[in-house]
């Protein structure tokens, strides 16, 4: 590549030689071509280099680095020090980018934001996709994001390299969630350039192999899957069959590659329809799921009512006991007074 690229994309990798090729191809298929892709090997298997070597594109570089502590955050800093773009992005080695991912996020940055992000469609291991919606332009969601936890996949984000005083800002001494710490730092240090939200899916985010979880251990996706398992209306573009012996990435990549524009349009429309259906449409088809939750709430309510009654009975017993105790104390006081009076009178009679 001649000259400085507009965007530097980092793709950290450790053990996903089986799917990283699909991730690389999704980057190379971007409608915006002014980028460099740095594949950051973090003690990865030799097969990874073989896969990366298939792509004879001058925009692709492979840094085969020894394993760094934790999730290899130090290696990401090493790659950033070699990067040249004025915009920085990440692409997970097991995610797929929509063809217009960079195009849409670069437009979102045009207003001067330090960071822009899009929606992700989270994909289960059996091919069911659902949107994750986080709106940092809403004060309550921004506060939750800054204080409670990350809800944005790293592949969804682009940020300006000059939004921080250093080019290699990844915290290296934390075991997990360094990306969340980085996003919060960018937001916190750029109060006059708040995040820009691209309100459309541009990333397919898959369950990490290491988690061995259908829903990526994400409660929100688990809830979506409970509904999808019971609903016959779940949009077909968001329910893709994964044959035995094939990965979710491979199957979705085939669909994306066959018709990039048509596929992107159909799956985005399906995502919008799903959100609208869940928010406003007739809920009869998911009534069993909702009824289960209502029944659980009723059971809890009745248990609380019973506990309250038991507590009230205990309080009444305590009150009665206190009243009896006060009565006993009053009686004892009266008896003591009578005894004392009797003693005084008796003493006077003897002296008389």
pLDDT, tens digit, 9 for 90 and up, residues 55-103: 999 999 999 999 999 999 999 999 999 999 999 999 999 999 999 999 9
Q: Where exactly are the structural domains of the chain?
A: 7-281
192-217 mean pLDDT: 94
pTM of the entire predicted model: 0.79
The Cα 333–Cα 162 span in angstroms is 83
Contact 220, 132 (CB under 8 A): yes
Give me the pLDDT at residue 211, please.
87
Q: Where are the beta strands (DSSP E) in the chain?
A: 7-13, 35-42, 60-65, 87-90, 96-97, 115-123, 129-132, 157-160, 196-206
Backbone angles phi, psi at 250, to 5 degrees: -65, -45
313, pLDDT greater than 50: yes
Contact 49, 64 (CB under 8 A): yes
Residues 190, 191, 193, 196, Cα dihedral to 10°? 100
Give me the pLDDT at residue 1, please.
47
Q: What is the mean pLDDT of the chain?
A: 92
Q: DSSP label at 209?
A: G
202-207 mean pLDDT: 96
The Cα 192–Cα 172 span in angstroms is 27
The Cα 119–Cα 133 span in angstroms is 6
Using a 10 angstrom Cβ sphere, with 0-12 exposed, 13-18 middle and 19 or more buried, the burial of residue 245 is: exposed
pLDDT, tens digit, 9 for 90 and up, residues 226-281: 999 999 999 999 999 999 999 999 999 999 999 999 999 999 999 999 999 888 65
Give me the pLDDT at residue 349, please.
54
Q: DSSP label at 153?
A: -
The share of the chain scoring above pLDDT 70, in percent, equals: 94
pLDDT, tens digit, 9 for 90 and up, residues 97-154: 999 999 999 999 999 999 999 999 999 999 999 999 999 999 999 999 999 999 999 9
Count of residues in the chain: 352
7-281 CATH, one of 1.10.10.10, 3.10.20.30, 3.40.50.1980, 3.90.550.10: 3.90.550.10
Contact 154, 206 (CB under 8 A): no
32-40 mean pLDDT: 98
Give me the pLDDT at residue 146, please.
97
Contact 4, 40 (CB under 8 A): no
203, pLDDT greater than 60: yes
Residue whose C-alpha is closest to residue 136's, from 57, 62, 58, 196: 196
Contact 154, 90 (CB under 8 A): yes
If pLDDT is split at 50, 70 and 90, which confidence band does 27 have? very high
Residue whose C-alpha is closest to residue 6's, from 78, 94, 106, 92: 106
Most confident option among 164-168, 220-224, 304-308: 164-168
216-232 mean pLDDT: 92
Taking phi first (over 0 means left), then psi (-120 to 50 degrees means alpha), and beta for anything else, what does residue 127 get? left
Contact 46, 24 (CB under 8 A): no
The Cα 72–Cα 141 span in angstroms is 29
pLDDT, tens digit, 9 for 90 and up, residues 42-52: 999 899 999 99
Give me the pLDDT at residue 283, please.
52
Pairing of strands 60-65, 115-123: unpaired
Give me the pLDDT at residue 352, please.
47
């Amino acid at each position: 590549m001649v000259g400085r690229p507009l965007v530097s994309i980092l793709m950290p990798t450790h053990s996903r030689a089986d799917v990283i090729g699909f991730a690389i191809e999704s980057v190379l298929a971007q409608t915006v071509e002014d980028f460099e892709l740095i594949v950051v090997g973090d003690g990865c298997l030799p097969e990874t280099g073989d896969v990366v070597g298939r792509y004879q594109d001058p925009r692709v570089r492979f840094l085969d680095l020894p394993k760094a502590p934790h999730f290899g955050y130090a290696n990401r800093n090493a790659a950033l020090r070699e990067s040249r773009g004025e915009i920085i992005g990440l692409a997970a080695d097991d995610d797929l980018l929509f063809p217009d991912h960079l195009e849409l996020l670069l437009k979102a940055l045009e207003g001067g934001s330090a960071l822009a992000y899009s929606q992700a469609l989270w994909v289960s291991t059996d091919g069911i996709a659902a949107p994750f919606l986080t709106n940092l332009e809403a004060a309550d969601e921004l506060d939750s994001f800054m204080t409670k936890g990350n809800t944005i996949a790293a592949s969804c984000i682009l940020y300006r390299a000059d939004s921080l005083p250093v080019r290699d800002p990844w915290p290296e001494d934390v075991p997990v969630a360094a990306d969340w710490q980085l996003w919060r730092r960018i937001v916190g240090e750029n109060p006059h350039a708040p995040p820009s939200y691209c309100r459309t899916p541009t990333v397919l985010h898959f369950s990490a192999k290491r988690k061995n979880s259908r829903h990526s251990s994400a409660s929100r996706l688990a809830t979506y899957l409970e509904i999808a398992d019971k609903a016959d209306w779940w949009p077909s573009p968001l329910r893709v069959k994964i044959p035995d012996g094939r990965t979710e990435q491979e199957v979705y990549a085939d669909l994306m590659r066959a018709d990039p524009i048509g596929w992107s349009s159909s799956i985005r429309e399906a995502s919008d329809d799903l959100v609208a259906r869940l928010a406003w449409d007739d809920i009869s088809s998911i009534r069993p799921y909702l009824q289960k939750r209502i029944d659980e709430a009723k059971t809890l309510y009745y248990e609380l009512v019973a506990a309250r009654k038991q507590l009230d009975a205990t309080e009444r017993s305590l009150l009665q006991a206190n009243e009896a105790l006060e009565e006993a104390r009053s009686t004892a006081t009266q008896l003591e007074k009578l005894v004392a009076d009797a003693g005084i009178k008796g003493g006077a009679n003897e002296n008389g």
